[in-house]
A and B are shown apart, each in its own frame.
Chain A
Amino acid sequence: MSTSTTLNDIIPGSPAIQESTKVDDVTAMLDSIEGTVGTTRVENPKMEMREVDVFYADKQAIYDVDLDVARNEVIAMIGPSGCGKSTFLRCLNRMNDTIPICRVTGSITLDGVDINTREQDPVLLRARVGMVFQKPNPFAKSIFDNVAYGPRIHGLAANRAELDEIVISSLKRAGLYDEVKSRLDAPGTSLSGGQQQRLCIARTIAVNPEVILMDEPCSALDPIATARIEELIDELRENYAIAIVTHSMQQAARVSQRTAYFHLGKLVEVGKTNDIFTNPQHDLTENYITGRFG
């Protein structure tokens, strides 16, 4: 079985392993994995994933992953490019539904209810499990309308005053209000990259979700903007369960309480962030954290 080539095919342009000499090595190590090192489960989880497999057409991208997301916690997902961490994240609010060839099996529950059944509605699910994307993607609308978009489509505000209230409080919680309060009518695209990303976070929390998924939210931002977002994530933890995918180990160490390490579609190791970074159990995790491949 040559897992590495398979994955290379799935996500073109992002080599799973950058140093080819190690491929055989890594494959051997991966094949030796039976299940995940560390505790995948938590007490009273917000979301539970059991035996999740993901396929693009007939190529498998995620292999048999078990993982819980706890309440009021930030869980970071790290791993080399193309390891499937983003794909996995997108399972949690069924964003993969929008890709026709993508198929997800296994069980994923939110508050104990399976989200992949027919009765569960993706619209409702996505209102409860919000998502922030890698690149800031404000709509071609004003700042106000960007934030008001979610409440409007879901009918969350009974009148204009309530809507104003929601928009302003969301902008405040995203730490953006003071910077934009004088120009709420300006187009969202007129903001800087970091502001745009905070606008997207404000847009997400305006719907009042229970879980927020963040797919490398700082990868397109400069260090100062990144620091602002990281502070924000830490504040948001009080009210939300947060799952964040990041390619930066430092960021994972700074913002998360637990960390999950993915490699070639498998969940290699998961544990308290501190433990993972100071005392990784699995060789692959150790290799990654010590920077032998990235």
Chain B
Amino acid sequence: MSLNTLFLIILLLSIASYVYARRRAFVNAFGQTDNKRRHSLPAHYGYLLAMWCALPALALLISWKLIEPGIISNMLSSSAPTEVKAAGETAVGLYNNEIFYLADADSISQDLPAHKTAAIQRLQSLRTASKILLTLILSGVIGLSLLLGLRHVNREPRARVIVESFIQVFLVVCASIAILTTIGIVLSVLFESLRFFQQVGFIDFITGTSWSPQTAIRSDQVGSSGSFGAIPLFTGTLLISAIALIVAVPLGLMSAIYLAEYASSRARSTIKPLLEILAGIPTVVYGFFAALTVAPAMRSFGQSIGLSVSSESALAAGVVMGIMIIPFVSSLSDDVITAVPQSMRDASFGLGATQSETIRKVVFPAALPGIVSSVLLAASRAIGETMIVVMAAGLAAKLTANPLEAVTTVTVQIVTLLTGDQEFDSAKTLAAFALGLMLFVTTLLLNVIALYTVRRYREQYE
């Protein structure tokens, strides 16, 4: 039976269990003598039985589907031709991929070597076997759990307590997914990075000034040529982020100050959402705009005043990114400026300060920690931004501080290294994870500092 059918059957059985147990509870079937003094509602008995029915089955189904592809692929590898096996793990993986692809294709029109046809047949029979096995085991599990469930429901007067504590467990598990995600990120990035650092030294990676992963692949000398020096990527990322911040911080901060201190509440309620649209536009749109409109415009402007501007200049990507992160600066700054107590402004006005003097000399210093953290968050956003730089910045790693030249960034390299059909174990793909690790650690540090500062700041005025 197909996956959908199995799901549907489990669903229907659960509903049936619910209805059955609930009805039996209504007619006092579970050792209840007095209908009015029942501990739990009939529905609770229904839920209890439905849980018994659905949960083990779903758990089995999901874990089966998660494990199945790996096992099938392993069994397929074991029967791969010896010459493929001899060529190493990578070759076996490729061979498997091809078989999978061929098996999924509608028609096998090409003249395939016999061993491939055999492999395809083997794959298909493995899949069928897996399906039958799953259906059988699943029927057994559902039958058993229904039996146990019925016994339980018959003996348990306090169904509500059990259903509710299960719900609570479910809630805790859901809340912990945030932690699981973080752990997942750390583990996946760290694990692959460690494998990368076995091939390329950590120090070489972090201090090397030459980045050309392509050569390493071609000469088949993984990691030995020292072409995985990430310094040009770091400087490129910093250069573009710095340009973005130079654009975003003054614009965002002055917008926030104007909105918080000068604008009428009507103007504020119009302008603020408009500014926030800037953060809502997908970054791929900014990337397209930067590559198609801003970069050529800068190039031709540069030409007209005798400057050579690269068509993938850091400036174009940085400026557009800066515009994108304006709302990140302005929104949080606006919040923290509004949080400065009115009494401080009164004190300043009472001494005869003008409004701008009050803002610059009283409000701004008081809000400074919050403003700094808004800038840190914006910086973290700029460093991790991907699509704008993928589309508008360069690919070649160059160690330069000239904003008119093309530089590449960490995120651009991650995308370049991982799109296309790379083998998972090559230093080239693993390098992407090492870069990802750097990115994650940097942005995490920035975020933690920013969130901590802003928390302290809020406490100060609450």
- A-to-B contact residues, CB < 8 Å: 93, 95, 98, 100, 122-127, 130-133, 135, 137-141, 149-150, 152-154, 200, 203-204, 207
In the complex, what distance in Å separates the CA atom of A207 from the CA atom of B353? 11
Contact check, B352 vs A126: say whether CB atoms are below 8 A apart.
Answer: yes
Within the complex, the shortest CB–CB distance from A257 to chain B, in Å, comes to 24
Q: Are A153 and B352 in contact (CB under 8 A)?
A: yes
- Taken together as a complex, chains A and B put the C-alpha atoms of A152 and B362 apart, in Å, by 13
Cβ contacts under 8 Å, A127 to chain B: 351-352
Query: For residues 346 through 387 of chain B, which have their beta carbon under 8 Å from a beta carbon of chain A?
Result: 346-354, 357, 361-362, 365-366
Q: Does B82 contact A (CB under 8 A)?
A: no
B341 at the interface (CB under 8 A from A): yes
A204 contacts which of B341, B346, B351, B365 (Cβ < 8 Å)? B351
Bound-state CA distance A110–B347 (Å) is 21
Task: Judge if B274 is at the interface, Cβ distance under 8 Å.
Answer: no
Contact among B346, B350, B361 for A153, CB-based, below 8 A:
B361
In the assembly, what is the distance between CA of A124 and CA of B352, in Å? 6
A123 and B352: CB pair below 8 A?
A: yes
Instruction: Tell whether A98 pairs with B345 under 8 Å between CB atoms, given A126-B350, A127-B351.
Output: yes
Would A131 and B354 be within 8 Å (CB), given that A137-B341, A139-B362, A141-B365 are in contact? Answer: no
Docked-complex contact B343 and A137, CB < 8 angstroms: yes
- Residue in B346, B347, B353, B362 whose CB lies within 8 Å of A123: B353
Q: Across the two chains, which residue of chain A brings its CB closest to B349?
A: A98
Given A126-B351, A139-B366, A149 and B361 contact (CB-CB distance below 8 Å): yes
Q: What are 12 residue pairs bridging A and B, where the CB atoms are less than 8 Å apart in the complex?
A: A95-B349, A98-B345, A133-B346, A135-B343, A139-B348, A149-B348, A149-B362, A150-B352, A153-B353, A153-B357, A203-B351, A204-B350
Q: Is B444 an interface residue when CB atoms closer than 8 A count as contact? A: no
Q: Which residues on A sit within 8 Å (CB–CB) of B347? A: 133, 137-139, 200, 203
Per the bound structure, the CA–CA distance linking A175 and B435 in Å amounts to 61
Given the complex of chains A and B, what is the CA–CA distance between A99 and B111 in angstroms? 86
A93 lies within 8 A of B350 (CB): yes
Contact status B343-A123, CB under 8 Å: no
**A92→B366 CA distance, assembly (Å):** 28
B448: CB under 8 A from chain A?
A: no
Question: Contacts of A100 on B, CB cut-off 8 Å?
Answer: 264
| Chain A nearest CB, measured from B225 CB (Å) | 55
Question: Binding site of B, secondary structure by majority: helix, strand, loop or mixed?
Answer: helix
Chain B residues with Cβ under 8 A from A98's Cβ? 345-346, 349
Q: Nearest CB to that of A152 among chain B residues?
A: B361
Give Cα A138 to B365, complex, Å: 13
- Alpha-carbon distance between A93 and B350 when the two chains are bound, in angstroms: 8
Closest residue of chain B to A137 (Cβ to Cβ) is: B343
Which B residues touch A141, using CB under 8 A? 365
Q: Which residue of B lies closest to A121 (CB)?
A: B352
Inter-chain CA distance A133–B344, complex, in Å, is 10
Select from chain B the residue with minimum beta-carbon distance to A136. B343
Give chain B residues whose Cβ lies under 8 Å from the Cβ of A122: 352
Interchain residue pairs A-B with the least CB separation, the first 3: A127-B352, A131-B350, A126-B352
Which of chain B's residues have a CB closer than 8 A to the CB of A133? 343, 346-347, 350
Q: Cβ of B361: which chain A residues have Cβ within 8 Å of it?
A: 149, 152-153
B350 contacts A140, C-beta separation under 8 Å: no
> A200 to B350, alpha carbons, bound, how many Å?
11
Instruction: Give Cα A123–Cα B346 distance, bound, in whole angstroms.
Output: 13
Chain B residues in the interface with A (C-beta under 8 A): 264, 341, 343-354, 357, 361-362, 365-366
The answer to whether B351 and A140 have CB atoms under 8 Å apart is no
Query: Could you say which of B349, B352, B366 contacts A140, with CB atoms under 8 Å apart?
Result: B366
Hey, which chain A residues are within 8 Å of B343, CB to CB?
133, 135, 137
Complexed CA–CA distance, A139 and B354 (Å): 16
Q: How far is the CB of A204 from chain B (nearest CB, A)?
A: 7
User: With A137-B341, A140-B365, A140-B366 in contact, do A149 and B346 touch (Cβ < 8 Å)?
Assistant: no
User: Given A139-B362, A149-B361, is A125 in contact with B352 using a C-beta cutoff of 8 Å?
Assistant: yes
Q: Enumerate chain A residues within 8 angstroms of B264, measured Cβ to Cβ.
A: 100
Q: How far is the CB of A51 from chain B (nearest CB, A)?
A: 25
CA distance A141 to B357 in the complex (A): 15
Question: Closest Cβ of chain B: how far from A39's Cβ, in Å?
Answer: 29
Residues of B within 8 A of A203 (CB): 347, 351
Measured between beta carbons, the chain A residues less than 8 angstroms from B349 are: 95, 98, 126
Q: In the complex, how many angstroms separate the beta carbon of A264 from the nearest chain B beta carbon?
A: 25
How many angstroms from the CA of A203 to the CA of B347 in the assembled complex?
9
- How many Å from the CB of A73 to the closest CB on chain B? 21
- Shortest beta-carbon distance, B459 to chain A, in Å? 13
Bound Cα distance A125, B365 (Å): 26
Q: In whole Å, how far is A250's beta carbon from the nearest beta carbon of chain B?
A: 26
Most buried by A among B341, B347, B349: B347
User: Would you call A149 and B345 a contact (CB within 8 A)?
Assistant: no
Whether B353 pairs with A95 at a CB distance below 8 angstroms is no
B353–A137 CB distance below 8 A? no
Expressed in whole angstroms, the minimum distance between the Cβ of A94 and any Cβ of chain B is 9
**Would B351 and A149 count as touching, CB distance under 8 A?**
yes
In the bound assembly, the distance between CA atoms of A234 and B352 in angstroms comes to 24
Q: Is the CB of B352 within 8 A of A154?
A: yes
What residues of chain A lie closer than 8 Å to B345, measured between beta carbons?
98
CB distance from B340 to the nearest CB of A (A): 8
CB distance from B205 to the nearest CB of A (A): 44
Contact B344 A123, beta carbon cutoff 8 Å: no
Q: How far is the CA of A153 from the CA of B354 in the complex (A)?
A: 9
In the complex, residue of chain A having the shortest beta-carbon distance to the beta carbon of B347: A137
Neighbouring B residues of A139 by C-beta, 8 Å: 344, 347-348, 362, 365-366
Closest-CB distance, B254 to chain A (whole angstroms): 21
Q: Give the residues in chain A near B348, CB-CB below 8 Å.
A: 139, 149
Question: B352 near A137 (CB under 8 angstroms)?
Answer: no
Instruction: Compute how far the CA of A140 lies from the CA of B364 in the bound complex, rounded to whole angstroms.
Output: 10
Residues of B within 8 A of A131 (CB): 346, 350-351
Distance from B369 Cβ to chain A, minimum over Cβ atoms (Å): 9
Tell me the bound Cα distance from A207 to B352 in angstroms: 9
Q: Are B357 and A95 in contact (CB under 8 A)?
A: no
Are B346 and A95 interface neighbours, CB within 8 A?
yes
Whether B366 contacts A137 by the Cβ 8 Å rule is no
Query: When chains A and B are docked, how far (Å) is the Cα of A153 from the Cα of B353?
Result: 7
Inter-chain CA distance A124–B366, complex, in Å, is 25
Which listed residue, A135, A138, A150, touches B351 by the CB 8 Å rule?
A150
Tell me the smallest distance from the CB of B100 to a CB of chain A, in Å. 64
Asked whether, in the complex, the Cβ of B354 is within 8 Å of the Cβ of A137, the reply is no
Additional pairs, 8, CB under 8 Å, beyond known A127-B351, A139-B362, A149-B348: A95-B346, A126-B350, A126-B352, A130-B351, A133-B346, A133-B350, A140-B366, A152-B361
